Structure 1
Amino acid sequence: MNPILGKCREIALGVLDYTTGAEQPQLYFNPQGQMAEVLPKLKQLHQKYRPTPWLSNNHVHLLYFDVIKKRTIKLQYDAIEQLTMADGGVTAIAWLGLNLPEETPTIVLMHTITGSPESMRELVRDLNQYTGWRIALCLRRGHGNLPMPVPQINLFGSVQDLREQIAYIQQKFPKSDLYGVGSSAGTGLLVRYLGEEADATPLKAAFALCPGYDTELGFKNVHPFYSKMMTKKLFEKFVEPYSRTWAKTESLFDVLQSKDLAQFERAYFQMAGYSDYESYAKATNPVYVFENVKIPLMILNAEDDPVCHIKNFEPFKALITQMPNVVVVTTKKGSHCGYYEGAVDTHSWAAKLMSDFLKVYAT
């Protein structure tokens, strides 16, 4: 290349990086732990994340992810199997890659706060394409229009339900190594499960995308617009369609008065199967068992995330740098679960990172 053209290109790229906020990720980990050997293998962490230029605004980025991208991804699941839990409740698993060889690894995927097979298609597709592995999207009670014979839902999911789903996956594919991925609210379930199971989990490694950390406090930091919008979605998906189910719930009146996510989360504990908020929080908040996580875990947050605010991470920085098996990756841009790159053919930088991280632990 002509030296002058090369210099012009370098200047233009520098200007673009400055205007879009492109920066190399920040890493928080124990330099004496196992992550010190793993992180050099992941090229993305040693280069700048360059967000799609016209999505450098976090709200536009999130709007594109939530409204446009989710509706344009076409994916046909191999099957959606309904499972009856031990207490009679109904969950499901949406499968992609059922016909892969039995020994092919399986990613156990935990969805977002109002997630469904349709809303999770992009991540399911990307994980399958980047890894070549089987994907098992674990649907929580009430999601994807599942019947609700037992009056119980949980914004972050039930660890016991997840145990039963994982046991079913193991029974169906006994030769398959398992890996975990949680997206947004699904990270709460993922980390709570990993903390409760510790060394007993069959998952070999896990990835948490855009977590809120402390579930008792995180909703207070959600941007007011998204908090109100997501609360409205909770009513539309999990309260109104099951009005008869909740008819005898004493705290339903308080739930119906909720104007934002923090109020909803504080009021709905009976709908989650608990007699009071304190019991609910102690049984579901992942921070109480976080130090018990034993398998390799990578966590990714964007500093411009308007839903799971970066300030939620602050209280845990010191702990993270003491744990040998956990790394937190932060980027300046990325918004909430979007992480798009590419000027025209937009694709998820995060999906590539989580795939490469999990593949490090594949035998």
Structure 2
Amino acid sequence: MADFTGDPYLVLLNDLRLIPISHYLLASLAISLAFLYCFLEFHFLHDLLTGFRGCPVALTYNSSSRIYHDVVSKCRILHSRYLPTPWLSGPHFQTVFLSIFGRAPAFNYRRELFHLSDGGTIALDWLLNSDDDITPIVLAIPGLTSDSESPYIKHLAFNTAKKGWHIVVTNHRGLGGVSITSDCFYNAGWTEDLRAVIHHLHHEYPNSPLFVVGTSIGANILVKYLGEDGDSVPVAGAVAICSPWDLLIGDRFITRRLLQKVYDRALAIGLQGYAQLHQPIYSRLANWEGIKKSRSIRDFDHHATRLVGKFETVDTYYRRCSSASYVGNVSVPLLCISALDDPVCTREAIPWDECRANTNIVLATTNHGGHLSFFEGLTAAGIWWVRAVDEFLKVLYSSQHMHVKKVASPHPPLIGDSSIDQGPYVNIAEDGMVAAVGNEQVEENMVEDVLEVGDIKHSVERDQQRSQPELDPLGGIVESSEQAIKSLDVTLPVRRCLGLLCRRSRWSLWLLVYIGIVTSWPVVGSVLKIALQKKRRG
């Protein structure tokens, strides 16, 4: 046997040869698992150790929210746990699986071409159940470069139609196989197309409740639209799935780590493919050479979106089109669903406090789910958020909290209702305290004064009508008029006024008595003096 004492490296190599190959394989497997767990956020071991119980759904809402107490509290899915498909235990696995496979159900849409006022064209793809005009309608808004054929949209459409509702998918301009017919393109904050489509649906189906579901960029457009229009939207309820919320934060996040840069590059390739479909218009309105060289979403937005949308800078575009600043003005029941491990839309952009402050919003977050994936079951045949949306809309539809569009009164205000004549006024209490009186109290006092000092005859007639509600029309009028004449007393108005003064302030009554005595004493004294003198002479 050779002597390796002189060279320690040779001794080490000789000892390593003595270790079985299987041990090396086990060590490689352990290192690979550690890499998958840390780098790819693989959580299979955690699910195994917890008995595949899944993670609870965290709900963020205002404590006085009727949407939560009367609607979401009745949603069993939102109060249960979400367990991802075991062999897709990771946000990246789920997101990639959705993009490549998706396992979408097979069916065909009925297409409607909707023409916009600027000459643009949008494809509305319908999945109908009946021909009546009262069945609820769900409007779905796809994400970036997605259309009605995207797997997650088809899952949503199939489940919605299965419960007997209509669903229509509004494809973004230039998608769904429809060419660009104007110089206008969609972007992450372009709400004009959505506003026009919703107005069209509300006009064509005025008796059908309209619900809207936005996904990814479509969710950002939806929330921004709801915040822009407030109470005037004809939407009964809405759901936002995996919204980016703040585009500026999302831009910083997607360029931070290596895996996020992979998603950034993949989305940029999708945008370049979209631009390639409409090259003649992009070549005229944007920087085509810059579009072809774009390696990220920000590059594409710099060379295309910024120029077409007429934004000064890319950051200006991101700030103006972010929906987070519009959350506070949402007046429609809105359910927001996001995964905390979303590899595209970071949790850092979620407006937690704004959602909690708005009584119309309930935010549901899960620890896992990826971006729009949320696969569940051993075969990954279903998507969890699709079931949650289906249940939420069903409970909302059966409740009294569906939003109704606020319509301004077409009649001009009366002169008496002018704001110039309205409160606040000053009221002096009995103890001398001065307080402001609102419009309601002033109107109540005015009505009371009219009833007490006004026409006594009408007051008596109304009292008689209340005491005898089942009189003959002609006989009742004659009888009540006769009773009013009999009960008419010339001193009644004076007594009513005195009673009113007593209720207003007892000090005012005594002051009035004092003034009356002082001012009338000379006359009363003279009369008494003459009366006494005549009595003495007699």
* TM-score w.r.t. length of structure 1: 0.88
| 3-state SS in 1 of match to 2:238 | strand
Number of residue pairs the alignment of both structures matches: 344
Q: Gaps (5+ residues) in structure 2?
A: 1-45, 255-259, 399-538
By how many angstroms is 1:21 displaced? 7.7
Partner amino acid, structure 2, of 1:247: S
Instruction: Find the aligned partners of 1:350 and 1:134 in 2 and give their Cα distance.
Output: 19
Number of the residue aligned with 1:187? 219
For 1:336, the equivalent position in structure 2 comes to 371
1:291 partner letter: G
Aligned to 2:191: 159
Pair 1:92 & 2:123 matched = yes
Once the two structures are aligned, what percentage of the paired residues are identical? 26
> For the Cα contact (< 8 Å) 1:109–1:135, is it kept in 2?
yes
Find out whether 1:216 has 2:216 as its counterpart: no
2:102 is aligned to 69
Distance 1:117 1:204 in 2: 22
CA displacement 1:236-288 (0-9 Å, x = unmatched):
12x11211111222444444432112332344334543252366446533223
Letter in structure 2 aligned against 1:340: F
Alignment partner, residue 8 of structure 2: none
* Residue identity matched to 2:140: L
Q: Which has the higher helix share?
A: 2
Match of 1:197 among 213, 229, 248: 229
* Aligned-partner Cα distance in 1 for 2:200–2:307: 26
Cα shift at 1:19? 7.1
Mapped to 2, the partners of 1:66 and 1:175 lie a distance apart of 37
Separation in 2, partners of 1:213, 1:23: 24
Aligned amino acid, residue 332 of structure 1: N
Match of 1:110 in 2: 141
C-alpha displacement of 1:171: 2.7
Q: Using a 3 Å threshold, how does the CA distance of structure 1 residues 93 and 221 change in structure 2: closer, same or farther?
A: same
Asked if 1 retains the 8 angstrom alpha-carbon contact of 2:247 and 2:319, the reply is no
- 2:302 corresponds to 1:302: no
- Unaligned 5+ segments in structure 1 are 1-13
Structure 1 residues 345 and 247: CA distance shift in structure 2, 3 A:
closer
Distance 1:145 1:15 in 2: 42
Query: Any conservation in 2 of the 1:153–1:271 contact (CA below 8 Å)?
Result: no
Task: For 2:77, give the aligned amino acid.
Answer: Q
Do 2:113 and 2:121's aligned partners in 1 also have CA atoms closer than 8 Å? yes
Q: Distance in 2 between matches of 1:26 and 1:148?
A: 42
Q: Distance in 2 between matches of 1:280 and 1:311?
A: 19
Give the 3-state SS of the residue equivalent to 1:246 in structure 2.
Answer: helix
Q: Which of the pair has the greater relative contact order for Cα pairs under 8 Å at 6+ separation?
A: 1
Question: Any idea what SS the aligned residue of 1:189 has?
Answer: helix
Q: 2:357 aligns with which of 309, 319, 322?
A: 322
| Structure 1 pair 282–24 and aligned structure 2 pair: CA distance change class (3 A) | closer
Match of 2:204 among 161, 172, 193: 172
CA RMSD of aligned residues (A): 2.2
SS for the counterpart of 1:87 is: coil
Partner of residue 296, structure 2: 260
Contact 1:185 1:212 in 2 (8 A): yes
Secondary structure of the residue aligned to 2:168 is strand
Distance 2:253 2:337 in 1: 17
The change in CA–CA distance for 1:263 and 1:203 in structure 2 (over 3 A counts) is: same
